[in-house]
Amino acid sequence: MYYIVTGAAGFIGSNIVKALNERGETNIIAVDNLKTNTDKFRNLTDCEISDYLDKNIFLEKLKDGQFKGITSAVLHEGACSDTMETDGRYMMENNYHYSLSLLDHCQREEVPFLYASSASVYGGGGVFKESREYESPLNVYAYSKFLFDQVVRRRWANRTAQIAGFRYFNVYGKREQHKGRMASVAYHFFNQFRADGYVKLFEGCDGYANGGQRRDFVSIEDVVKVNMFFLDHPGKSGIFNLGTGNAQSFNDVAVATINTLRVAKGESALTLEQMHDQQIIRYIPFPDALRGKYQSYTQADITALRDVGYAEQFLTVEQGTANYVKYMLAKSA
Write the pLDDT tens digit of every residue in 235-247.
999 999 999 999 9
Burial class (CB in 10 A: 0-12, 13-18, 19+), 144: buried
pLDDT of residue 37: 76
Do 39 and 107 form a contact (C-beta atoms < 8 A)? no
The rounded distance, in Å, linking the Cα atoms of 329 and 185 is: 16
Q: Which candidate in 18, 179, 200, 326 is catalytic?
A: 179
Confidence of residue 290 (pLDDT cuts 50, 70, 90): confident
Would you call 187 a catalytic residue per the annotation?
Answer: no
- What secondary structure does DSSP assign to 244-282, as a single string? -S--EEHHHHHHHHHHHHHHHTTPPP--HHHHHHTTSEE
Q: Are strands 71-76 and 2-6 parallel, antiparallel or unpaired?
A: parallel
Burial class (CB in 10 A: 0-12, 13-18, 19+), 37: middle
pLDDT of residue 301: 98
Would you call 179 a catalytic residue per the annotation?
Answer: yes
Which element (helix H / strand E) includes 214? strand 214-215
- The model carries a pTM of 0.94
Do 91 and 80 form a contact (C-beta atoms < 8 A)? yes
Q: Which candidate in 2, 96, 141, 168 is catalytic?
A: 141
Per-residue pLDDT tens digits for 83-125? 666 667 877 877 889 999 999 999 999 999 999 999 999 988 8
State the average pLDDT over residues 274-285.
Answer: 96
End-to-end CA gap in the chain: 39
In the predicted model, is pLDDT for residue 311 greater than 80? yes
Mean of all residue pLDDT scores within the chain: 93
pLDDT of residue 87: 66
